[in-house]
């Protein structure tokens, strides 16, 4: 086995071990963390705080806005339901 293929095999093995020991969170787990942070803001929170939540939880920008339900609220705000 060449040195390059050995390095590739070791790398794949390391990635597989990392993924097994650090499983990815699903939507529900992320939503719980986001909503807990939004609840901490209370009534004094502003939309800029949602960006701070995204940074704190290391999530893509806009995730807190979506998961908090604000995106749906503003999307359907003018429609008769």
Distance CA 72, CA 74 (A): 6
Would you call 31 exposed, middle or buried from its count of C-beta atoms within 10 A (0-12, 13-18, 19+)?
Answer: middle
* 34-60 residues labelled b (16+ CB within 10 A) or e (exposed): beebbeeeeeebeeeebeebbeeeebe
Q: Looking up tokens 């800029």, which residue turns up?
A: 48
What per-residue confidence (pLDDT) applies to 21? 83
pTM above 0.75, yes or no: no
10-26 confidence digits (pLDDT tens): 999 999 888 888 778 88
Q: What is the pLDDT along the chain (81 residues), one digit of tens a residue?
A: 788 899 999 999 999 888 888 778 888 999 999 999 999 988 888 889 999 999 999 899 999 999 988 888 888 887 665
Per-domain boundaries in the chain: 25-81
């Amino acid at each position: 086995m060449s040195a390059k293929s050995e390095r590739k095999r070791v790398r794949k093995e390391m990635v597989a071990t990392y993924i097994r020991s650090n499983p990815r969170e699903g939507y529900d787990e992320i939503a719980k963390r986001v909503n807990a942070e939004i609840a901490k803001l209370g009534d004094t929170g502003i939309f800029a705080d949602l960006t701070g939540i995204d940074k704190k939880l290391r999530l893509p920008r806009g995730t807190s806005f979506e998961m908090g339900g604000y995106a749906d609220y503003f999307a359907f705000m003018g429609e008769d339901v």
